[in-house]
């Protein structure tokens, strides 16, 4: 099957936030509100460099210093409550990106193994199952999320686990990502192809990132010829 104009892909691994759901502004707003409660103002650069694509413990330690496991849990819960409240404010963006349901249906029908590898924790993943219908393609056991036991992106752990889960060698897999830290994680995991989604970063910038094979804006026609422009 040709995916995003690429031949030879045997398995697909999708980041979630900013890739399948364009929710980066919601996360950014929630982090800004949470950190402001702690007396910390963050810039757009801080968001891109220290927040996007990274797990909550890493983010919290960066901005707040050393924390106990319980403090991390409490802070993370507070921030994610803010995020989910934003998602439910009847926002028209709170849906899977254009073309995703059709692509997942086709991949499933063709027997191409695929999964999601997200830095989100279970509270948010279960929220997505409830409100975005992920159970049409997945169970909690057939995707990878932050369980607190893996290093966060840009470390390759989450993608290596996802590759093992779908039973494909790294060089057979395409990783779909929107963040620089996620792209670095995909490269570090040895992914054969990285398809970048320009939901937040400039298309030309993404085209210049080492390892990026294609840049797309959504998944409409992703299983047809879609050459790099």
What are the backbone angles phi and psi of residue 57, rounded to the nearest 5°? -55, -40
- pLDDT (tens digit, 9 = 90+) per residue, 81-104? 999 999 998 778 999 999 999 999
Residues 32-55 have a mean pLDDT of 90
CB neighbourhood size of 27 (10 A): 22
Q: Give pLDDT tens digits for 121-155.
A: 899 999 999 999 999 999 999 999 988 888 988 99
Distance, CA of 160 to CA of 204 (rounded, Å): 28
**Whether the model pTM is above 0.95:** no
Q: Where residue 227 falls among pLDDT bands split at 50, 70, 90?
A: very low
160: number of Cβ within 10 Å: 19
Enter the tokens of residue 169.
């060698």
| Domains of the chain by start residue, with CATH | 11-23+93-216 (3.40.50.1000), 24-87 (1.10.150)
**DSSP code per residue over 20-42:** TB--HHHHHHHHHHHHHHTT---
Residue 225 has what pLDDT? 39
List C-alpha distances in Å: 176 to 119, 184, 192, 226.
14, 12, 11, 15
Contact 184, 153 (CB under 8 A): yes
pLDDT(162) > 60: yes
Q: Are 97 and 21 in contact (CB under 8 A)?
A: yes
Mean pLDDT of the chain: 92
**Pick from 16, 199, 12, 185: nearest CA to 110:** 12
Share of residues in the chain with pLDDT > 70 (%):
97
Separation between Cα atoms, residue 96 and residue 77, nearest integer Å: 24
| 8 A C-beta contact, residue 22 and residue 199 | yes
Distances (CA, A) of 48 to 118, 176, 221: 17, 18, 28
Gap between the terminal Cα atoms of the chain: 20
Q: How large is the angle between the packed helices 157-166 and 180-188, nearest 10 degrees?
A: 60
């Amino acid at each position: 099957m040709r995916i995003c104009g690429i031949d030879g892909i045997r398995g697909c691994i999708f980041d979630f936030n900013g890739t399948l759901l364009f929710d980066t502004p919601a996360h950014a707003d929630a982090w800004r509100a949470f950190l402001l409660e702690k007396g910390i103002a963050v810039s757009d650069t801080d968001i891109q460099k220290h927040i996007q694509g990274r797990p909550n413990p890493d983010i919290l330690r960066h901005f707040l210093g050393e924390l106990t496991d319980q403090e991390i849990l409490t802070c993370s819960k507070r921030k994610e409550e803010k995020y989910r409240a934003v998602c439910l404010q009847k926002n028209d963006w709170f849906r899977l990106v254009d073309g995703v349901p059709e692509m997942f249906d086709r991949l499933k029908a063709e027997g191409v193994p695929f999964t999601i590898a997200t830095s989100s924790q279970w509270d948010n993943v279960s929220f997505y199952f409830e409100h975005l219908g992920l159970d049409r393609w997945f169970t909690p056991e057939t995707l990878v999320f932050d369980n607190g036991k893996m290093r966060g992106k840009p470390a390759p752990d989450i993608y290596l686990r996802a590759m093992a889960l779908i039973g494909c060698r790294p060089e057979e897999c395409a990783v779909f990502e929107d963040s620089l830290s996620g792209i670095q994680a995909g490269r570090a995991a040895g992914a054969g192809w990285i398809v970048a989604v320009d939901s937040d970063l400039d298309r030309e910038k993404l085209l210049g990132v080492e390892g990026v094979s294609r840049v797309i804006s959504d998944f409409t026609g992703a299983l047809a010829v879609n050459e790099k422009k």
